[in-house]
Amino acid sequence: MRLSNKIALVTGAAGGIGSSTARRFAREGATVILADIDSDGCSRVLDGIIADGGAGTAHGADLSDEAQVVALFTAIRGQYGRLDILVNIAGGDIEPAASVEEIDAERMSRNLDMNLKSCILCCREATKLMKPQAYGRIVNMSSLVYRGSPAQFSYSASKGGIFSFTRSIAIALGASNITANALAPAIIGVDAFPRALGPERWKVMAEATAARYPLGRIGTPDDVASAALFLASDEASFITGQLLEISGGARL
Type of residue numbered 102 = E
**Runs of H (alpha helix) within the chain:** 16-27, 39-51, 66-80, 105-112, 118-133, 153-173, 192-197, 199-212, 221-232
Of 208, 112, 216, the closest CA to residue 157 belongs to 112
Tell me how far apart the alpha carbons of residues 189 and 207 are, in angstroms, rounded to a whole number: 11
Please give the full DSSP string across 11-43, using - where no structure is assigned: ESTTSHHHHHHHHHHHHTT-EEEEEES-HHHHH
Nearer to ligand NAD, 77 or 110 (CB): 110
Q: How far is the CB of 202 from ligand NAD (least distance, A)?
A: 11
Q: Distance from first CA to last CA of the chain, Å, rounded? A: 34
Nearer to ligand NAD, 143 or 233 (CB): 143
Q: How far is the CB of 189 from ligand NAD (least distance, A)?
A: 7
Nearer to ligand NAD, 63 or 173 (CB): 63
Q: How far is the CB of 31 from ligand NAD (least distance, A)?
A: 20
Nearer to ligand NAD, 135 or 166 (CB): 166
Of 175, 168, 146, the closest CA to residue 158 belongs to 146
Please give the full DSSP string across 208-226, using - where no structure is assigned: HHHHHSTTSS-B-HHHHHH
Tell me how far apart the alpha carbons of residues 134 and 136 are, in angstroms, rounded to a whole number: 7
Q: How far is the CB of 154 from ligand NAD (least distance, A)?
A: 12
Nearer to ligand NAD, 192 or 239 (CB): 192
155 carries an active-site annotation: yes
Tell me how far apart the alpha carbons of residues 205 and 31 are, in angstroms, rounded to a whole number: 37
Q: How far is the CB of 238 from ligand NAD (least distance, A)?
A: 26
Contacting positions for ligand NAD (CB under 6 A): 12, 14-18, 36-38, 41, 62-64, 89-92, 114, 118, 141, 143, 185, 187-188, 190, 192
Name the residue with the smallest CB distance to ligand NAD. 15
Candidate list 135, 146, 155, 213, residue with the active-site label: 155
List residues with catalytic annotation: 155
